[in-house]
Structures are given as structure tokens and as C-alpha cells.
Amino acid sequence: SQQGEEDPQALSIQEGENATMNCSYKTSINNLQWYRQNSGRGLVHLILIRSNEREKHSGRLRVTLDTSKKSSSLLITASRAADTASYFCATGGHPETSGSRLTFGEGTQLTVNP
């Protein structure tokens, strides 16, 4: 079964608005990552947050992590049409139990309308 579950499954907004996507997971993690996938392409890494961190920023991206609720959110500010893509969260377990594997959620399809 999938470790991460994204919410919502699909999100449609206007250019300039903020987009928020959420990810919930079930088991203890070492880190949580967000990836973007443009249509017909491979996934591209966006940002990583470790289990002892609560918030990270990268450009227009802000990621939060609440380990007590086993959830994370990705905020994209001032969205652009080029942000249209699917966004996936991926959880990394503790190395001694899950080695180098990442487990991906089902993704959120974001559409930014010009």
C-alpha cells in the first residue's frame, strides 16, 4: 500500500494564486520529499525536509512537516502557468529498516490557468 497519500487529487487555480497540497503518511519516517512531474516526463526533485525539521523554503516553495500528525504540506506561492504538473510526496524510512527506498504517494494534479 502507498505510504503517502496526497490531497487533493486535483487542484485548479488562477495564475498568481497560491496552491497548497497535502500529504499524509502512515509510518515513522527519516525524511519527506516533494517531486514534480510534467506531463509525459520523469519526476524532478523539488525539496527535502528531514524528520527533525518543521519548515523549509526554496524559492516560491514552502514545505511544512508535522510528524505528530504524520502529515506534510507543499505551498507554491504566486503560481504560474508553468507550475502546471503533478506533484508527489515521497517518504524515506529509517536507513536501518528500509535502506535507500522512497515510497511515493498518488500525486496531486495542479492546473494553473493563465
Partner 1 sequence: NAGVTQTPKFQVLKTGQSMTLQCAQDMNHNSMYWYRQDPGMGLRLIYYSASEGTTDKGEVPNGYNVSRLNKREFSLRLESAAPSQTSVYFCASSVHGGVSGANVLTFGAGSRLTVL
Which residues here bind partner 1, judged by CB under 8 A?
2, 4, 30-31, 33, 35, 40-45, 48, 50, 88, 90, 92, 95-96, 99-107
Minimal distance in Å, beta carbon 80 to partner 1? 22
Minimal distance in Å, beta carbon 99 to partner 1? 6
Instruction: Give yes or no for a contact between 48 and 31, defined as CB atoms under 8 angstroms apart.
Output: yes
Largest CA distance in the chain: 46
Instruction: Give yes or no for a contact between 34 and 103, defined as CB atoms under 8 angstroms apart.
Output: no
Minimal distance in Å, beta carbon 110 to partner 1? 15
Q: What is the dihedral of CA 72, 75, 76, 78, to 10 degrees?
A: 180
Of the two residues 15 and 106, which places its CB atom closer to partner 1 in the complex?
Answer: 106
| DSSP label at residue 89 | E
Of the two residues 7 and 106, which places its CB atom closer to partner 1 in the complex?
Answer: 106
Of the two residues 57 and 113, which places its CB atom closer to partner 1 in the complex?
Answer: 57
Of the two residues 1 and 114, which places its CB atom closer to partner 1 in the complex?
Answer: 1
Which residue bears the cell 496552491? 19
